[in-house]
């Protein structure tokens, strides 16, 4: 799996766990809807650490919590 796909999957996973929509996440994180739409629309979108940090702040989790998922097993990830 490509890293960008794993990040996209993790965002959806976290939203589902908290029962919030992507639009609600945008509001909570201070990220524009177009930023998250680009993540979803373009398979190999390069996300910045700043965007991931803002998502984490919006969800009130650490970066460690964000990446603490089996989908980020380094042996299963490919370069975008």
Residues 6+ apart with CB under 8 A from 3: 77, 78, 79, 80
Domains of the chain plus CATH, in order, are 3-68 (1.10.260.40)
Question: What local confidence, expressed as pLDDT, does residue 42 receive?
Answer: 67
Query: 49: which 2 tokens?
Result: 């650490």
Q: Convert 14-41 to b/e letters by CB count within 10 Å (16 or more is b).
A: bbeeeeeeeeebbebbebeeebbeebee
Question: What local confidence, expressed as pLDDT, does residue 33 receive?
Answer: 85
pLDDT of 2 over the 90 cut = no
Q: How confident is the model at residue 80 (pLDDT cuts 50, 70, 90)?
A: low
The predicted model scores a pTM of 0.84
pLDDT tens track for 11-42:
999 999 999 998 999 999 999 888 887 777 76
pLDDT tens track for 44-79:
666 788 989 999 999 999 999 999 999 999 988 887
| DSSP state for residue 2 in the 8-state scheme | B
CA 64 – CA 67 distance, rounded (Å)? 5
């Amino acid at each position: 799996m490509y890293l960008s796909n794993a990040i996209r999957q993790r965002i959806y996973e976290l939203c589902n766990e908290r029962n919030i929509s992507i639009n609600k996440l945008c509001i909570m994180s201070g990220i524009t809807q177009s930023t998250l739409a680009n993540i979803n629309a373009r398979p190999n979108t390069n996300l910045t650490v700043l965007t991931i940090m803002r998502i984490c702040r919006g969800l009130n989790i650490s970066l460690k919590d964000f990446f603490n998922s089996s989908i980020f097993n380094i042996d299963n990830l490919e370069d975008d």
